[in-house]
Amino acid sequence: MTTVSNNSQSNHVYGIEEAVTQAVNVSDATQLENNFLSLMVAQIQNQDPTKPVDSTEFLNQFAAMSQVKSLENMASLSKSNLVLMDNLQTLTAAGLVGQEVKVATEQLQLGEDKISGALNLEHAAGQLSLVLTDGNGVKKTVALGSQAPGAVPFELDPKALGLPPGRYQVEVVSDSGEYPKVEVAGRVTQVRVSAEGPVLDVVGVGSVPFYNITEFGQAHTAGLL
């Protein structure tokens, strides 16, 4: 069971359900509210019968106290939900190891194997191409020809293109002035947990944040190159 630690007791660990219960029932706002009620009762019991205190002021203060308590409980519940969502995201990412995904990327990690991908055009293009730039700034243009609107699949063969292994920047150049995102399909080899969330190592792309995944279980795209 996923656990969260309670800061008020550093050596005690609670389950999420117990942590939420404690946040609702034993909070600083609750204690403050109880103290306020005790003082209010004491003041009412000892007030001057000839000059009774206006109860409206008491009610307004009590309502404000209750609102503070509700806000504190909402914050505690939101924090618990974030912990649960983060754990679920990590479990989902871990389940992708060995599977193929499609990710949006601006970089490629080329080796000897072919890389499949696609891009989506909103407008027709008379001349469409991919431009790959290596670490030394050397560019390689891969023509995709004339393309109609819609999905445009591609396949890059590093050997056929004369591209040595390494990391490349990739961008789309279109005579329509459109700049669609490049999506690459690759197998997940490893998942690492970071402060920003799960990071996946994808063949052909490298390290990719979990939120860059655009499709799960994508079959290899038919190649055009």
Mean pLDDT of 196-201: 82
The DSSP code for 219 is P
Instruction: Give whole-number Cα distances, 34 to 24, 29, 154, in Å.
Output: 14, 9, 68
Residue 33 has pLDDT above 60, yes or no: yes
Per the structure, the count of domains in the chain is 2
Q: Are residues 114 and 207 in the same domain?
A: yes
78 within some domain: yes
Q: Give yes or no: residues 90 and 104 share one domain.
A: no
Last residue of a domain, one of 41, 60, 94: 94
- Considering the domain boundaries, does residue 119 fall inside one? yes
* Residue 130, in any domain of the structure: yes
134-144 confidence digits (pLDDT tens): 989 999 999 99
Where residue 51 falls (left for φ over 0; alpha for ψ -120 to 50; beta otherwise) is: beta
Domain end position, chosen among 60, 94, 128: 94
Q: Say whether both 46 and 68 belong to one domain.
A: yes
Q: Which residue has the tokens 């909103």?
A: 122
Parent domain of 26:
3-94
| pLDDT, tens digit, 9 for 90 and up, residues 77-106 | 777 776 667 667 777 777 778 888 888 999
Confidence (pTM): 0.54
With respect to residue 223, please indicate whether it lies within any of the assigned structural domains.
no
Both structure tokens of 150: 């819609």
pLDDT computed for residue 4 by the predictor: 39
**Rg for the chain (alpha carbons), in Å?**
30
Does 123 share its domain with 189?
Answer: yes
What mean pLDDT value characterizes the chain? Answer: 77
Supply the pLDDT for residue 129: 92
Burial call 160-176: b when 16+ CB within 10 Å, e when fewer: eeebeeeebebebbbeb
| pLDDT given for residue 127 in this prediction | 92
| CATH number of the domain where residue 109 is located | 2.60.40.4070
Residues 135 and 77 in one domain: no
Last residue of a domain, which of 94, 123, 152? 94
56 with 107, same domain?
Answer: no
Please, which residues have CB within 8 angstroms of residue 7's CB and are 6 or more apart in sequence? none
